[in-house]
Amino acid sequence: MSLKQPFYISLKPFLDHQVLPRPTPWPQVFGNDRPVEVEIGFGNGEYLARLAQENPLVNYIGFEEYCERISRALRKLSRVAADNVRVMRLDVRPGFMYLFAPRAIRFIHCLFPPPWPKKSDAKHRLWTRGFLRLANNRLADNGAMRIVTDHEPYAEWIEEQVSGSGFDLKRARIPARYGTKFERKWVEGGQKEFDAIVLTKKEHIHVARKEDSPLNHYTIAQFDPDNFQMENFSAGGIAVVFKDFLYDPRRQTAQAHVLVYDEHLLQNVRIVIFKSGDEWRVHLARGSMLMPTPGIARALECVRDAAMKTHKGEGTKGF
């Protein structure tokens, strides 16, 4: 009987974006200043693992949103034991916006981005003119990117987005060559050719990095946890959704759980209201690891306002 060797999945490639410095000093993360390439939507990680293994002198950063796919990718990365790759569970749009300085990336790979084929869903597509401009800014001069899609109308749509984004575009029909899960799926379904779009940076476009928002904590004079009710907030691309409220009378501490959404970034936020002397303080829960966005600042205000409404004639100070 042969005993199965234990197999350990290394978590070393996984980065928690919430604790990374902004913009992230990538040479410090990788321990060297080799060029950085990005794969957007690496799925199960076949291509990312291969790239990292075949090009040890390049540093790779992968963005993916689905946990299960990230876990499969980490397994593949453990098998190739590459030290030159990091992955994040994050939508690439806030990823680029907050974590990358201009010209920080040499090449961007994107295989089979969701095409959102229905006309009414086109607003969900990643490769809008706005995102092309952001990618342009984060790419080095003469940097480039390759997008491969199974959906010809999406390739045509991307061509329409390119003007004003600082790129030269070349488009070609190519056979299957990447061996990823989704490529295999389309090949099994009978598709023989795909659209490959190569965009080469010709002009640098200015897109400022989003700075951290200042987060105020508040003091209120009175608070009655029995009357706490919070309304959801939505305006200007920010949404704050109330999820849950708890109160511990022994500690005189309440906790509101809210979901905060700002421009493709969803964060779970816990805000505490606790007694301090004669007053009550409204703070982020201790140990909160968050990207300090305008939505988080708004969530603190929403919880403060809801806490104040539990008592009439309330006053507040921010600090």
Ligand X SMILES: C[S@@+](CC[C@H](N)C(=O)[O-])C[C@H]1O[C@@H](n2cnc3c(N)ncnc32)[C@H](O)[C@@H]1O
The residues binding ligand X (CB under 6 A) are 40-43, 63-66, 69, 91-93, 111-114, 126, 180-183
Measured CA distances, 293 to 93, 143, 168, 206, 217 (Å): 14, 29, 33, 21, 14
- Return d(Cα 178, Cα 78) in angstroms, integer: 20
Minimum CB–partner distance for residue 60 and ligand X (Å): 14
Residue closer to ligand X by CB (options 98, 182) is 182
Please report where in the chains the tokens 């309304």 appear, as a residue. 231
From 292, 69, 71, select the one nearest 284 (Cα to Cα).
Answer: 292
Please report where in the chains the tokens 């004003």 appear, as a residue. 164
Contact present, 14 and 70 (Cβ < 8 Å): yes
One DSSP character per residue, 281-312 reads EEEEPTT------HHHHHHHHHHHHHHHHTST
- Return d(Cα 226, Cα 310) in angstroms, integer: 8
Minimum CB–partner distance for residue 209 and ligand X (Å): 18
Residue closer to ligand X by CB (options 86, 270) is 86
Residue closer to ligand X by CB (options 22, 257) is 22
Spatial neighbors of 283 by CB under 8 A, at least 6 apart, are 217, 271, 272, 274
Hey, what are 43's tokens? 């799925």
Minimum CB–partner distance for residue 162 and ligand X (Å): 19
Minimum CB–partner distance for residue 213 and ligand X (Å): 22
- Return d(Cα 88, Cα 224) in angstroms, integer: 41
Minimum CB–partner distance for residue 261 and ligand X (Å): 14
Residue closer to ligand X by CB (options 131, 223) is 131
Residue closer to ligand X by CB (options 131, 167) is 131
Minimum CB–partner distance for residue 71 and ligand X (Å): 12
Side chain identity at residue 72, one-letter code: R
Spatial neighbors of 244 by CB under 8 A, at least 6 apart, are 256, 257
Residue closer to ligand X by CB (options 45, 292) is 45
Point out the residue whose Cβ comes nearest to ligand X: 41
Minimum CB–partner distance for residue 308 and ligand X (Å): 37
Residue closer to ligand X by CB (options 63, 154) is 63
